[in-house]
């Protein structure tokens, strides 16, 4: 067992550390074999329940442990959420992702409302994703039945570094929720964050952990930390751009069929860096002026960038 793991991490390190032209060439080759190299899927996020989260994630604006400026908001009304999904669809998004700042899903009227949200967004003929914290198999099965496409639950970083970022739940808890999601037949969206003070080796170990998931995640968000004032990571330095490109390319090579999503942190990226990430195999972005609680580029800027690159939003 230990031997297999060593081999996996060694192979990942070899891919990651090869000369950039070779890495990008391989990533492009893999990307073109499985995806339209001109298409980028647009996804829109909606924070359906904001703030007052009991978990202590060091990066997060929504944790009660972090004295941030955020104003908590209770679970949104069904109609408001559906209106936002319609607007997202009208602006070209084909996937709508609803996030709730919960430690775990609790059965009751709030979960019933979330199930209604899932049903109604699915009825708009959009992919529907949720990220609601930990959940039981029965809850996952009910989400599946309501029409949920995917569940987002990130491993965030390496098993070793994880304890420096979050203490209120374990890596094993995360893996267990991911297992339950897969068992319910829901597609897994699982990725991580760069720029939390972790080493390149931690990032490669995150990829190793993702490679250990069975089935492999169909969607992998790569977030760059958005430093939020009041969090322990507020002063973290930005991710080195070439390291981001290497990470995207390595992810693409290891997960040929997955959607690799260039997620948080795009506001801090120059156009050239985003272009390189697309060439490295990223094929999805989050659009709209805010992610969950932090700012994101305007849709008009994203559309202009794609146009200048000769790329298009992925059609449904
Ligand atoms: N509470 C749920 C959970 O943790 O699974 C869902 C919401 S949480 C905000 C979803 C993901 O967003 C986190 O796992 C993390 O990877 C990412 N994220 C949160 N805050 C971020 C930040 N400031 N910068 C970059 N990514 C962030
Ligand atoms: C993911 O990995 N990135 C998205 C989505 N999954 C839910 C969320 C990014 C959140 C960025 C910080 C914020 O806006 O609060
Ligand atoms: Fe809560 Fe999710 Fe933020 Fe962690 S990342 S504090 S679980 S909302």
Nearest CA, atom 2, ligand 2 = 221
Q: Is 100 in the pocket of ligand 3 (CB under 6 A)?
A: no
Residue of 46, 60, 130, 277 marked active site: 60
When pLDDT is averaged across residues 304-311 and rounded to a whole number, the result is 97
Which domains, ranges and CATH numbers included, belong to the chain?
A: 23-302 (3.20.20.70)
Which pLDDT value is given to residue 70?
A: 94
- Model confidence band, residue 2 (pLDDT cutoffs 50, 70, 90): low
Q: What is the pTM of this model?
A: 0.94
CA end-to-end span of the chain:
42
Residue 114 scores a pLDDT above 60: yes
Over residues 96-107, the pLDDT tens digits come to 999 999 999 999
**Residues with a CB atom less than 6 Å from ligand 1:** 59-60, 99, 101, 131, 133, 153-154, 156, 193, 223, 225-226, 228, 264, 292
Q: Which atom of ligand 3 is nearest to the CA of 166?
A: 4
Q: Which atom of ligand 2 is nearest to the CA of 152?
A: 6
Over residues 58-69, the pLDDT tens digits come to 999 999 999 999
Q: Which atom of ligand 3 is nearest to the CA of 103?
A: 7
Residue of 142, 174, 252, 261 marked active site: 261
Mean pLDDT of all residues belonging to the chain? 95
- Is 60 among the residues known to form the active site? yes
Q: According to the 3-state scheme, what is the secondary structure of 185-251?
A: CCEEECCEEECCCCCHHHHHHHHHHHHCCCCCCCEEEEEECCCCCCCCCCCCCCCCHHHHHHHHHHH
Q: In whole angstroms, how far apart are CA 37 and each of 3, 14, 299? A: 36, 25, 20
Residue of 46, 53, 130, 224 marked active site: 53
Residue 192 scores a pLDDT above 80: yes
Which pLDDT value is given to residue 7?
A: 80
């Amino acid at each position: 067992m230990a031997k297999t793991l060593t081999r996996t991490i060694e192979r990942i390190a070899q891919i990651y550390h090869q000369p950039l032209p070779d890495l990008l060439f391989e990533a492009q080759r893999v990307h073109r074999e499985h995806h339209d190299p001109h298409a980028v899927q647009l996804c829109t996020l909606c924070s359906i329940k904001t703030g007052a989260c009991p978990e202590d994630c060091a990066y997060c604006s929504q944790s009660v442990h972090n004295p941030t400026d955020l104003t908590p908001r209770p679970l949104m009304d069904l109609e408001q959420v559906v209106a936002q999904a319609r607007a997202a669809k009208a602006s070209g998004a084909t996937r709508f992702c609803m996030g709730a700042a919960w430690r775990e899903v609790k059965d009751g009227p709030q979960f019933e409302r979330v199930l209604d949200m899932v049903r109604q967004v699915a009825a708009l003929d959009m992919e529907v994703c949720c990220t609601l914290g930990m959940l039981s198999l029965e809850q996952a099965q009910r989400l599946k039945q309501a029409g949920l496409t995917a569940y987002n639950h990130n491993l965030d970083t390496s098993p070793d570094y994880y304890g420096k970022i979050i203490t209120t739940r374990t890596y094993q808890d995360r893996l267990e929720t991911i297992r339950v999601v897969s068992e319910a037949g829901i597609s897994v969206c699982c990725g991580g964050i760069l720029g939390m003070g972790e080493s390149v080796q931690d990032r490669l170990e995150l990829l190793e952990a993702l490679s250990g998931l069975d089935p492999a995640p169909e969607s992998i968000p790569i977030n760059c930390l958005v430093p939020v004032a009041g969090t322990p990571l507020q002063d973290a330095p930005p991710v080195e751009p070439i390291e981001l490109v290497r990470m995207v390319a390595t992810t693409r090579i290891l997960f040929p069929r997955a959607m690799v999503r260039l997620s948080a942190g795009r506001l801090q990226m120059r156009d050239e860096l985003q272009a390189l990430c697309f060439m490295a195999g990223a094929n999805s972005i989050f659009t709209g002026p805010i992610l969950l609680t932090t700012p994101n580029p305007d849709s008009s800027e994203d559309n202009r960038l794609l146009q200048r690159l000769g790329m298009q939003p992925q059609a449904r």
